[in-house]
Chain A
Amino acid sequence: MKAKITLLCIYMLSISLLTACFDATELDELAIALLIGIDLEDDKILITAEVINLQYSSDSSSSGNVSVKYVQGTGNTVLEALRDITLKFGHRIYGAHTKAIIFGEDLAKKGVMPYMDQLFRARELRESAYVLVAKEAKAYEVMGVSSGLEPIPANYIISLIDSIRYNPKTIDTNMMDFVKHYYHMGRHPIVAILEKRQKKGINQTEKEVGTKDFELSSIGSAVFKNDTLVGYLSGNDTKALNYILNNVKGGIITFPTPVDSDETLFSSLSTIKVRTKNDVDFKDGRLILKTKITISGNLGEIGGDMDISNYESLEKMAQACSQTVKEGIEMTVKKVQREFGFDIFGFGHVLHKKHTEEWRKIEGKWDDLFAEADFQIEVVTNIISSGLLNKPLTVKEK
């Protein structure tokens, strides 16, 4: 019995000597990366990481003045570049809190999949990190710009993408989505872009120069063919894309007010719920893409003398709204068919899921079929409420 207890004690004590094997890391030794930018420079991979700088004055305990540092490393593989950082920075990059991966345009045009391998292979990185493309720039050029309320640039960038809730002119593709869409039959990935812009006027009186003169914009999106960047969509096209992808989380629709007037006046509907159903059909050997969109929303603004207190005019408003959405989406689909000629809307995926047999037959020529296909769209708008006003303020009551 005594021998057993002694043995047990020895075992337990020896376990405490093995802690290093369990990968314990004290928090203050971590280099928490929030953004990872990947570029190609001189045929080598250049990694730029935004790392939280914990070294701020100890007397202020608020986290308001958290700052970040940028570290860079090069190598032939992503991992080599990441480890290259350690000898200049002194810490291993800890990727579990990475919010976004930014690809430089040069690299994206060559195909991003080879560089994704490490990110998925290592267990640290989250698949929920957004995938972004720096439009007409290197990844490190868009990093470090913070024009929002957030002190940390990474959070600013994330808030730009998350603002899809208010304005669907961007897209929120994360790493998981990207790879899923890459593997989906008949679908190509779309990711959000970051565009660096000089601010207009505001900062001219300020003496500060540098990153504060710039802001980022995530309006629009980048179109990938498989894993290669081939072009960009404008904000409105991205919005139409989101409508077809059933990815509208909020935002407004602006449409011409249906009144007889010389000048064109506009009204806006803020959407509450948008539901999209896609379908694919064949008729006389021609491919027909079908989309049915149901929009519910509140009237946010009415321009012109539109008295919506009666049912007919409300119906007119709804129809005008539907018409605008319909025209916008038709335009975008035509543009994509003409300019890109491959399916970014996932109609092929719908067909694959629904009629696998038929899909097998046309699998190889789907992109060509898509480019030639007819597009039918049906939009229904339900106006749920008109805000606090019935009639526009311009209508005088007698």
Chain B
Amino acid sequence: MISKRIRDNKELFITLFNNSSDFVAYDFETLSNLKIMVCYIEGLIDRDILDRDILESITVNVKKPKDIKKFIMTSSIKEVYSVDEIVNEIVYGRVAIFVEGLKKVYIVGLSKWDKRQVDQPQAESVIKGPKEGFIEDIAVNKVLLRRKLRNNNLVYEDMRLGKQTKTMVSIAYIKGIVNEAVLRELKNRLNKINIDSILESGYIEELIEDRPITIFSTITITEKPDVAAAKLLEGRVAIFTDGTPHVLIVPRIFVEGFMSSEDYYLRPYYASFLRVLRVIAFIITIYLPGAYVALQLYHQEMIPTVLLVSAAASREGVPLPITLETILLIIALELTKESGVRLPKNIGSTVTIFGALVLGQAAVQASLVSAPTIILVSITALAEFIIPQLSEGIVVYRLLVTILGGFFGIYGVVCAFLVITTQVVSLESFGIPFAWTWAPLNKTALKDGPIRIHKRNFIHRPLAIARKNVKRQQPPRGEGS
């Protein structure tokens, strides 16, 4: 309980913050000898404004405790009565103003801290389309999304998650379009979270996903406000987490892995070509090494003679069996990828060149690996890079296919295909079938699947997700779908 006396309160809060050096509890008297105390955390607030516009005005003008609200000239003020709440506000960069003789505290929003500039996202860069990306600050992120959807139906609902971190988490949806069932389920799952820390949206992702044992994520992650806006317009819900630029969006369907925001900004024909290319890349990147190993070991009759001869000739003198060779190269590829990401940028390029030279040139010349295997694994890598959204699942499955292909031939590759397909088809994301538009098949949604048709024919939102207000546009007169 807050005491009426400033001295008690000061003691209480200094104890609550364990004498932390960045906690400021400053008490003073106004000109009319009224005792006042302000509490805040150093560095989280704009002290210029506090000193100049609030403290000065209070010091000069306030005579009676009840008058104080008249002289705090800000629109962001609220009265709070509980200690817990005050602590929560202070750690979020607000100023608590205590007045002698009052059992309530005025909380003034003056938060200001250093944040990164709104920048181009690293993972989802586009050529055509908006370049701005979310940053680590949730308030800025909410603004970025609001600027895409200037609409009174865009709703944010805030909550604090993590007993220690007390991270601000905010769900965003468009009222009237959002799938209510998904929204309800999401709130339910978020409320069940009882963890001590949320440091990144990945924590939430794992805690709310449908099934823990899946390699493909059933939750979309994006850094781009335009992507988030587009998904909300399809009836989805976004989850903003303070401290990370990665915004979660549920539910996710598998086809989304092949989509890029740019698809909708380019001509539909080229966009469709790109989508088909990504589907092909997905197949290549998962199955090519396995099929290669299987054909080389068990089904040599299926390789065209000329290719067989050159492949066999390049295998001459290579010490490792083909399966091991391919797996080692795949691991080498992952090493190169990982070191490129982890190292500082200026060293990163050195590593890439070194890896490329050592692996590509020297290893072949020393007959440690065969040239076709290197070419093939490189193609696999290229194919993986054009579908970054699925790459987490791809790496694991690629190894699975390669090992099965190496041990059982095409039979093993087919088994792996069955495993992967079964997994994808059996998944659900917040009650929506993960393989939706293909299984179960939905013809209207196929318009925005591996091909993207002309926007004139985009009449409906994806019907599995959006349940009401499903029409996006009135079909142009004389045309319909």
List the interface of chain A (C-beta within 8 A of B).
Answer: 15-16, 19, 22-28, 30, 32, 34, 52, 54-56, 58-59, 61, 63, 66, 94, 96-97, 99, 124, 126
Contacts and interface: CB of A to CB of B under 8 A. Distances in A.
- Tell which of A19, A24, A63 has the most Cβ of chain B within 10 Å: A24
Nearest to A18: B407
B316 A124 contact: no
A66 B298 contact: no
Interface in B182-220: none
A16 B407 contact: yes
Given A28-B318, A56-B313, A61-B314, A19 B407 contact: yes
B316 A96 contact: no
Contacts of A23: 298
Nearest to B367: A58
Interface of A: prevailing SS:
loop
Interface in B296-332: 296-298, 300-301, 305-306, 308-318, 321-322
16 contacts: A22-B407, A22-B408, A24-B298, A25-B297, A27-B308, A28-B315, A28-B317, A32-B309, A54-B313, A54-B315, A63-B309, A63-B310, A66-B309, A94-B300, A96-B301, A97-B305
B257 interface: no
* Interface size range on B against A: 20 to 34
Contacts of B308: 27, 32, 97
Counting from the closest, the 5 A-B pairs by CB-CB distance are: A96-B301, A27-B312, A28-B315, A24-B297, A63-B310
Nearest to B301: A96
Interface of B: 296-298, 300-301, 305-306, 308-318, 321-322, 365, 367, 371, 407-409
Contact of B301 (A16, A26, A52, A126): A126
A119 to B, nearest CB: 14
Given A19-B407, A63-B310, 9 more contacts: A22-B298, A26-B296, A26-B315, A26-B322, A28-B317, A54-B313, A61-B314, A96-B300, A99-B305
A61 B455 CA distance: 50
A66 B313 contact: yes
Given A27-B300, A94-B300, A124-B301, A22 B409 contact: yes
Contacts of A55: 316
Nearest to A62: B310
Given A63-B309, A66-B309, A97 B314 contact: no
Given A22-B409, A55-B316, A58-B317, A30 B300 contact: yes
Interface of B: prevailing SS:
helix
A19 B317 CA distance: 22
Contacts of B371: 61
B305 A58 contact: no
Contacts of B306: 63
Nearest to A124: B301
A91 to B, nearest CB: 12
Contacts of A97: 300-301, 305, 308
A52 B407 contact: no
A26 B300 contact: no
A16 B313 CA distance: 27
Contacts of B316: 28, 54-55, 58
Nearest to B371: A61
Nearest to B305: A97
- Tell which of A26, A59, A61 has the most Cβ of chain B within 10 Å: A26
B372 to A, nearest CB: 10
Contacts of B321: 26
A34 B312 CA distance: 14
A55 B318 CA distance: 12
A94 B317 CA distance: 20
B309 A52 contact: yes
Given A19-B407, A58-B317, A61-B371, A26 B297 contact: yes
A157 B445 CA distance: 55
Nearest to A23: B298
Contacts of A25: 297-298, 300
B403 to A, nearest CB: 9
Contacts of A58: 316-317, 367
Nearest to A97: B305
Contacts of B409: 22, 24
A176 B104 CA distance: 98
A59 B301 CA distance: 27
B301 A27 contact: no
A54 B312 contact: yes
A59 B407 CA distance: 32
Given A58-B317, A61-B371, A94-B300, A28 B305 contact: no
A99 B315 CA distance: 23
A28 B407 CA distance: 18
Nearest to B293: A24
Contacts of B407: 15-16, 19, 22
B460 to A, nearest CB: 46
A16 B312 CA distance: 24
A314 B365 CA distance: 65
A30 B297 CA distance: 10
B419 to A, nearest CB: 13
A360 to B, nearest CB: 41
A61 B297 CA distance: 22
